[in-house]
Amino acid sequence: MSSFGESTSYDVECDVAQGFNFDKSNTSVFGFVEKLKIGDLEVPADFNLKNPDEESAKEVAGVIRHFYWDGKKQSPLELMVQVGGTAQQKLDLLIHKEMKKEDVSIQFKIYKFDSGAGQAFYPKFHTLDAEIKGVVRKEKVGDDTKRCISIEERKSGEVAEPENFILTLHIDPQSAQELGAAASTSDKFVVDWGTD
Structure confidence by residue, pLDDT tens digits, 98-147: 788 999 999 999 999 999 988 999 999 999 999 999 999 999 888 888 99
Instruction: Lowest mean pLDDT of 5-9, 80-84, 157-161, name the range.
Output: 5-9
Per-residue confidence at 1, pLDDT binned at 50, 70, 90?
Answer: very low
**Is there a contact between 60 and 33 (Cβ–Cβ < 8 Å)?**
yes
**How far is the CA of 127 from the CAs of 17, 46, 103, in angstroms?**
22, 21, 17
Identify the pLDDT of residue 134.
97
Partners of residue 189 on adjacent β-strands: 2, 181
Does position 156 have pLDDT exceeding 90, yes or no? yes
- Region 3-16 average pLDDT: 76
What sign results for the dihedral spanned by CA atoms 8, 13, 17, 23? negative
Burial class (CB in 10 A: 0-12, 13-18, 19+), 47: buried
Phi, psi of 128 (to 5 degrees): 60, 40
Mean of the per-residue pLDDT values for the chain? 92
74: phi then psi, degrees, rounded to nearest 5: -95, 0
